[in-house]
Amino acid sequence: MHDVFITSIGKFLPGAPINNDQMEAYLGKVNGRSSKVKNRILKSNGIQQRYYALDQTQRTTYLNSQMAAYAVRDALSQSHLDPSMIDLLCAGTSWADLLVPGFVSMVHGELPELSPIETLTSMGVCCAGIGALKYATSQVKLGEKRNAIAVASEQPSRLFKHTNFEAETGIQSGNSLSFDSEFLRWMLSDGAGAFLLQNHPNSSGISLKIEWIESISHANAYPVCMYAGTKDETAQKSWMDYSSYVEAAQAGAINLRQNIRLLDDVIKLGVEGWLRLIEAGRVKPNEIDWLLCHYSSHFFRGQIVELLDKAGCMIPEEKWFTNLYTRGNTGCASIYLMLEELFHSGKLQPGQKIFCFVPESGRFTTAYMLLTVVGTDGWKNTTVRSGEDFSLPILGSNLEPLPEYQSSVSDLQPSIPSPSEYLLRQLALVWLEFERKLQSVPMVRKLNRGEFTLDDYKALLRNLRPQVVEGARWIARAASNMTDFKLRSLFIGHAQDEHRDFQMLERNYV
């Protein structure tokens, strides 16, 4: 197998940057009224400007496929490669211009300078761009392709036009727009990025060697969190199940929505995967020079920092790079646009490691990627023998490297942490894994799907009672053996909470 390098990165951002005060001029005011929550959401997400492929009459200025094509051309214009030499085009997006054909076919149609080639569409939400990149990487690594393009493009602005919401029956009756719909209106914006992938680095300047890409879905245990095409998070009635498209629009079933109550779980799952990569030796925090994290809001940066700090594996914030505040949250294109800006910043030096972390709220997917900056003199043409395995199960119970991995990639063996670091990491993993597995409990799944009954609730309380009866005793016993006064007081306070739960059950249920 071959090494794979990102040798050129292009971008396309439509129009001029739009500041916070201009947003409603482009998206329109729902029922002619200014939003009551816009400023609160913008204060939380920290975004100062973004780009829309709309004018102030809400007319589209570029199609999603056209933005992707412009990003591809920008990447190719910076290379010495003839466009006809591209032999694979992979494109990712959350919402294509058309239902059929696939998004990549429309992008290819905008690029007549390319040859007849293999194409692939990756659909999803924030990880769709990584999905396109991973397929392109695997094909170049296997030697099936030599020059591949991976492109990610998003155009959510069209979904947020005031006229779309005004089609809802509730809005026509004078009701305010629901928060789960309005939240994303002030979060997402348009843009596209493209990578040129080759099996050799640039002859001059820098390239980014793709060490590995990992993507994990937790949809087996969690409900939808960011969704469109259904009215609520139970996702049991599709927009196509209404008697007409008009009825679906009137019900608000076509709107893009976000269940903000589940967003904390998105971050926790992402950090759990990160910790497991550290346990497996695939990420060494002290060796990371740049961290590119696609957090959708500045608010979530604080949560990530807190979780990593508690687990004892924090990467210093001076190594973090983001352009969320100046280019906006562009969904699956965000990681492309971050890498594009960093790649051309002049800050990268050969040998530096870049760790990319992309949590997706759609239905709980997380992607991770490790890159190495390569110069013209620092690369040796290496191949991998067929049969060697460079992947690791990062969420299984066995965290040790696979035998093939251990023998062929000895330089990536897990480092030995200090006892305190090990304890913090293991405690964080135990708790995060518990919360994740809890979502697979049948009763919790019924609750998430809106199928929870009164009998289910009684059964839950019946089985919960023994735990709260004994819980206060267990915690109090643990506290009695502690010499740290603050920690002991914390445990006693928690035991008090458990006892109150017991009293509530006895009073209201038994």
Structural domain including 495 reads: 453-507
Average pLDDT over residues 156-182: 93
Confidence (pLDDT) at 11: 98
Q: β-strands 49-50, 5-12: how paired?
A: unpaired
Domain match, 332 and 458 both: no
Residue 388 has pLDDT above 50, yes or no: no
CA–CA separation, 335 vs 35, rounded Å? 29
Residue 78 in any domain: the answer is yes
Tell me whether residue 420 is in a domain.
no
Residues 153 and 23 in one domain: yes
What is the percent of the chain where pLDDT is above 90? 62
How many structural domains does the chain have?
2
34 or 509: whose pLDDT is higher?
Answer: 34
**H or E segment to which residue 133 belongs:** helix 128-142
Please indicate whether residue 255 or residue 234 has the higher confidence score (pLDDT): 255
| Order of all β-strands in the sheet with 118-123 | 118-123, 88-93, 147-154, 191-198, 5-12, 207-217, 365-374, 353-360, 290-293, 320-321
pLDDT at 293: 94
Contact at 8 Å (CB) between 383 and 48? Answer: no
pLDDT attached to residue 417: 64
Q: What tens digit of pLDDT does each residue of 298-317 get?
A: 888 888 888 888 777 888 98
- Residue 84 burial (C-beta neighbours within 10 Å; 0-12, 13-18, 19+): exposed
pLDDT band for position 403 (50/70/90)? very low
468 shares a domain with 370? no
Q: Is the residue at 413 inside a domain?
A: no
Shared-domain flag, residues 238 and 340: yes
So what's the pLDDT on residue 379? 57
Closest C-alpha among 319, 313, 326, 264 to residue 288 = 319
- What's the rounded mean pLDDT across residues 162-175? 92
Inside any domain, residue 342: yes
Q: What CATH number corresponds to the domain at position 41?
A: 3.40.47.10
333 lies in the same domain as 197:
yes
Element (H, E) at 153: strand 147-154
Query: Is residue 460 in some structural domain?
Result: yes
Name the one residue in this structure whose structure tokens are 């919401």: 165
Q: What is the predicted pLDDT for the residue at 433?
A: 82
pLDDT attached to residue 422: 73
DSSP secondary structure code for residue 47 in this structure:
-
Report yes or no on 105 lying in a domain: yes
Contact assessment for residue 197 and residue 7, using Cβ atoms and an 8 Å cutoff: yes
Q: Check whether residue 16 and residue 149 sit in a common domain.
A: yes
Radius of gyration of the chain (CA): 25
Give whole-number Cα distances, 331 to 16, 157, 188, in Å.
19, 12, 7
Which tokens is 451 given?
């199928």
Same domain, 342 and 469: no
In angstroms, rounded to a whole number, what is the distance separating the alpha carbons of residues 77 and 194?
12
Q: Cβ(356)–Cβ(335) under 8 Å?
A: yes
Give 150 or 231, the one with higher predicted confidence: 150
Average pLDDT value for residue range 213-220: 93
The answer on pLDDT for 400 being more than 50 is: no
pLDDT at position 468: 76
- Please answer whether residues 356 and 214 qualify as being in contact, where contact means their C-beta atoms are separated by less than 8 angstroms: no
Higher pLDDT, 133 or 429: 133
> When comparing pLDDT for 266 and 451, which is higher?
266
Judged against a pLDDT cut of 70, whether residue 292 lies above it is answered with yes
Of 325, 345, 375, at which residue does a domain stop? Answer: 375
pLDDT in the model for residue 391: 43
Query: Is residue 413 a contact partner of residue 283, using CB atoms and an 8 Å limit?
Result: no
Rounded average pLDDT over 12-23:
97
Together in a domain, 134 and 227: yes
- Mean pLDDT to the nearest integer, 395-409: 36
Whether 190 is in a domain gets the answer: yes
Does residue 364 share a domain with residue 473?
A: no
What confidence category does residue 349 fall into, taking pLDDT thresholds of 50, 70 and 90? very high
Tokens linked to 14: 């439509």
User: Residue 1's pLDDT is what?
Assistant: 87
Structural contact between residues 257 and 227, judged by C-beta atoms closer than 8 angstroms: yes
pLDDT of residue 236: 86
Confidence at residue 345, expressed as pLDDT on a 0 to 100 scale: 96
Q: Are residues 85 and 214 in the same domain?
A: yes
The residue count for the chain: 510
Which of 375, 399, 416 finishes a domain?
Answer: 375
Read off the pTM.
0.82
* Domain contains 390: no
Asked whether residue 472 falls in the same domain as residue 366, the answer is: no
CA 298 to CA 306: how far, in whole Å?
Answer: 13
Q: Which residue has the tokens 């708790």?
A: 431
Question: What was the pLDDT predicted at 378?
Answer: 56
Residues 74-100: tens digit of each pLDDT: 999 999 899 999 999 999 999 999 999
CA distance 289 to 274: 16
pLDDT tens sequence across 125-157: 999 999 999 999 999 999 999 999 999 999 999
Q: Indicate the residue among 332, 360, 375 that finishes a domain.
A: 375
Is the pLDDT reported for residue 171 higher than 50? yes
* DSSP label of 413: P
Whether 252 and 181 have beta carbons less than 8 Å apart is answered as yes
User: Could you give the angle at the alpha carbon of 303 between the alpha carbons of 299 and 306, nearest 5°?
Assistant: 140
**pLDDT for the residue 359:** 94
What is the model's pLDDT at position 396? 43
The neighbouring-strand residues paired with 123 are: 93
pLDDT of the residue at 340: 98
Residue 76 CB contacts under 8 Å (≥ 6 apart), including other chains: 8, 10, 83, 86, 149, 196
Residues 118, 227: one domain?
Answer: yes
Cα 267 to Cα 474: distance, rounded to the nearest angstrom: 30
Average pLDDT of the chain, as a whole number: 88
> What's the CA gap between 23 and 35, in Å, rounded?
11
Q: Tell me the DSSP string of 358-391.
A: EEETTTTEEEEEEEEEE-SSS----B--TT----
415, two tokens = 């480092």
